[in-house]
A and B are shown apart, each in its own frame.
Chain A
Amino acid sequence: MNRQRRPRPLRLPVLAATAALTVTAVAACGSAASSGSAAGQASSGPITIGMSLPMTGPVADVSKSGYQGYELWAAQVNADGGLLGRKVKLDMLDDGFDPNQTAADYTRLISQDHVNLLLGTFSSLLNAPASAIAARQGMLYVEPSGGAATLFTRGFSDLFFAQPGTTTSLPDQFVAWIASLPASQRPATAAYVTQDDPSASPAVAVFRTRLQALGVKTVYYQVYDPSTTNFDSIATAIAHDRPQMIIQGAVADDGAQFVRSLQKIDYNPQILFQTNAPTDEAYPSAIGGAASANGVFTAQSWSSTATYPGNQGFVQAYTKMFGAPPTEDAANSYTAGQVLQAAVKAVGSLDQRALANWLHNHTVSTIVGPLKWDKAGDPEGSLLLSQWQQGTLQIVAPASAATSKTILLTKPAWGNG
């Protein structure tokens, strides 16, 4: 998940959080020398795993399933006898989607709660400060979300992203598909529009560079503010240039709102790729039904239909436990748990440095496929290329994970899919 919604005005809880951060940071300075080793010292009682999630605030509705992914993973680990023979206990704090509160929470988890291990939060916005706190304290940090390329250029060696690819590898499968098309079928022109977001805009920049290298001419490029709700002028400008292909760096609701602006002026691009937004189950209904979604491309880190080991078991167990099928966020947090579990089992201790070293040198089998990382914790794979087809988001590439052998080359007119 790389969602980021409208910034909220500064409120009392934010001020309180800032004060709390200051206090806990001072406290952390006093105990920093002991906290890094404390994680590996306690050898009885449950293994406590700390995390701070945006359970309230603008992304609360989607964070709940992320936490449920962690809960399911912990329940399964405990049912199998725990980690290192000890039960696993989650210590979850709520950051309200506030980066300052996130930093305060992870400082508290390490310095006051003395958790044994950490797991990450959601969005690049929150994982950036959280991973910095973890790195400063010498703690391993496996994050389920936060794929902005900038997170992996800070020199941290304890950070691991539990998805197959980051923003820079997001275009891989789509660009490869375009490159595979005969010249007569390849789009000649493209428009690029993206939210000013650490995960979306770098991905669109990569799209543009690589598609231009394939000879696709850029006719429009626009970066918009996260608070933008009216896309009429952008859609009109794009329609004026009549690109065959549109690439949008969408984060959440902006994906559907942009499509609705295109629909209002009845402009149908031949190819439409959007990041994030089309993976939302509510996406088809938000743009007028499954017929309108037909042909839209997106990139996914996980699919419920993928055949990777353990994936179907995860889907069934999650559905049984929570009464609804898992979301991508739930799968990502479950994957982060799998990564942590693999390292602890292999190393046989909670030594944070040893765990990080093991992960740097091994491939971990997860429900999103085998994961392997470079020295910055950037995964060396790529995301799945998916396309809405007849009301179902089908994986169309890579071939090894594909659930549909057909790729719609031309998106049907809105509502006529």
Chain B
Amino acid sequence: MTELIQALIFGVLTGSVYALMATGLTLTFGVMKIVNLAQGAFLILAAYLCYTLWARLGIDPLLGSLIVTVPLGALGVLVYRLIIERVQRVDHGLTIVVTFAIALVAEAVIALVWGPDPVTATPAYFNRAFHLGSVSVPAAQLYACLLAVAITVLLQAGLRRTWLGHAITAAAENPDGARLVGVEPKKIGTWIFAIATATTAFGGAALSFLYQFTPDSQDIWIGLTLSVVIVGGLGSITGAFAAGVLLGLAESVTSTYVSVRWAAAVPTILILLVLLIRPQGLFTLAARQDAAA
């Protein structure tokens, strides 16, 4: 029983971090129908920036993420205005190619600046765990999980209670209708990219102390975050959170009761099952056909 409880705790903690990392992708993929393959590179960039703030200035990665949101948000605006928006006007389908190109360039730049060796931050609380009987709750993962919950709640509240949030939702559900009531797609797109890229700072902060990373670590994380978005459903922040937790639980239980080697296959199996049974994702309503027009 202890083993099961431990596996479930690890699953929830790990999964919430997956969700945190996928938040930005959920917004761009769900609202703008842009598969931003550069999101993994942005995540690694954020992790390096948080790591650098910790290593050079002693700033805790969780606090450092607040600082990192500023350059990341600015990067999102630049990428959208200078590249994505222009390519989108020519051919929307080309955006996936151009974001892949951005990911490759970003990886090379990161490698030039920080080098190829693996790095990781080790804040003071990293080696600590809360022990509840024979069950351990790692402090670092607990804090990352709390950050994920806070970001999810804030983003969800922002989408529901602000004009910008309503505009984003409107643009996602009916772009033509939104345009008729004065929602400018270019402006909304800029905001979405800024928010999506800025929130990557929080995922990067968690990554910076929970895992080792190198410039090419983006390959792993873009795959995992895409899995979260597909399983959760496009554009659903809470759906992404639930999907992340589900993925974490599935991995943890598989590792504990089946095999560590099968855990790596869990995201792929989940995607296949979701696409077969509920293609619109587990946590969204059925997609409206007119929305894609």
* A residues lining the B interface (CB < 8 Å): 6, 58, 60-61, 196, 222-225, 227-230, 232-234, 236-237, 239-240, 253, 256-257, 260, 263-267, 282, 285-289, 292, 414-415
Contact = CB atoms under 8 A, between A and B. Distances in A.
Given A196-B261, A233-B7, A266-B129, 4 more contacts: A240-B3, A260-B120, A263-B127, A266-B128
A224 B119 CA distance: 22
Interface size class of B (residues with CB under 8 A): 35 or more
Contacts of A292: 127
25 contacts: A6-B219, A60-B116, A225-B260, A227-B264, A229-B211, A230-B211, A233-B7, A233-B251, A234-B255, A236-B136, A236-B256, A240-B2, A240-B6, A253-B212, A260-B120, A263-B126, A263-B127, A264-B127, A264-B210, A265-B138, A266-B127, A267-B136, A282-B118, A286-B212, A414-B127
A286 B55 CA distance: 12
A232 B142 CA distance: 14
Interface in B200-225: 210-212, 214, 216, 219-220
Nearest to A267: B136
Contacts of B255: 233-234
B120 A264 contact: no
A60 B111 CA distance: 13
A50 B210 CA distance: 43
Interface string B162-183: 0000000000000000000000
Contacts of B261: 196, 223-225, 228
A288 B118 contact: no
B252 interface: yes
A363 to B, nearest CB: 37
Given A225-B260, A257-B211, A265-B136, A286 B7 contact: no
B80 interface: no
Please give me the 9 A-B residue pairs with the lowest Cβ-Cβ distance, nearest first: A233-B255, A264-B138, A288-B122, A266-B129, A265-B136, A61-B116, A263-B127, A414-B127, A224-B260
B241 interface: no
Given A288-B122, A414-B127, A266 B212 contact: no
Contact of B120 (A228, A240, A266, A286): A286
Nearest to A8: B219
A196 B210 CA distance: 24
Contacts of A288: 122, 126-127
Nearest to A287: B122
B212 A228 contact: no
Given A253-B118, A266-B129, A415-B127, A232 B10 contact: yes
B14 interface: yes
A229 B211 CA distance: 8
Nearest to B123: A288
B6 A236 contact: yes
Contacts of B263: 230, 233
B136 A222 contact: no
Interface string B20-37: 000000000000000000
B140 A264 contact: yes
B117 interface: yes
A228 B260 contact: yes
B262 to A, nearest CB: 9
B141 interface: yes
A246 B184 CA distance: 60
Nearest to A257: B212
A265 B139 CA distance: 8
Contact of A282 (B117, B138, B252, B256): B117
Given A240-B6, A257-B211, A265-B129, A234 B260 contact: yes
A118 B134 CA distance: 57
Contacts of B136: 236, 239, 265-267
Nearest to B3: A240
Contacts of B127: 263-264, 266, 288, 292, 414-415
Contacts of B122: 287-289
A76 B141 CA distance: 53
A236 B252 CA distance: 10
A46 B256 CA distance: 60
Which of B140, B212, B256 is most buried by chain A, counting CB atoms within 10 A of its CB? B212
A299 B116 CA distance: 25
Nearest to A240: B3
B128 to A, nearest CB: 6
Given A263-B126, A265-B129, A225 B264 contact: yes
